[in-house]
Amino acid sequence: MVFTPYLLGFSLVAFVLCYGLMRRPAWMWYFGWLFFYLIAARFGHIFFSQLIVAENSQQMLLSCVYLVGGLLIWMPVVLWWSGARSKFGRRKDDKSVKRS
């Protein structure tokens, strides 16, 4: 019951991401940056909370391993996303738009 708002929020974000990635409007690229920022904030929150409650050096090391693992997943995706801006939005040479 405690996680219900998080599950509803996650499902809403997933719906918007599915719609946006299917249509590829320009706002989706910026929404993607917001999504990646929230993922990074979540990784950072878990990392620092694990550091705070760590009782020995092994738990501190495992929290650092968690952070490095998160960065190994997050960084390549963000680097790809920064170069994918041209795939979003309408182009000037797009002839698929019919004008009457």
Q: Tell me the pLDDT tens digit for each residue of 19-39.
A: 888 888 988 899 889 889 988
Is 1 part of any domain? no
Question: 30 in a domain, yes or no?
Answer: yes
The answer as to whether 53 is a domain residue is: yes
Residue 92 in domain = no
Residue 63 sits in which domain range?
Answer: 26-86
What is the C-alpha to C-alpha distance for residues 41 and 82, in angstroms, rounded to an integer? 18
Q: What is the 3-state secondary structure (H, E, C) of 23-63?
A: HCCHHHHHHHHHHHHHHHHHHHHHHHHHHHHCCCHHHHHHH
pTM of full prediction above 0.85? no
Residue 57: per-residue pLDDT: 94
Average pLDDT over residues 12-22: 87
Element (H, E) at 9: helix 4-23
Residue 34 counted as domain residue: yes
Looking at residue 98, what is its pLDDT? 55
Instruction: Taking residues 47-68, report their average pLDDT.
Output: 92
Does the residue 5 lie in any domain? Answer: no
Is the pLDDT confidence value at 78 over 90?
A: yes
Model confidence at 68: pLDDT above 70: yes
Q: Structurally, how many domains does the chain consist of?
A: 1
Average pLDDT in the 89-100 region?
A: 61
Does 62 fall in a domain? yes
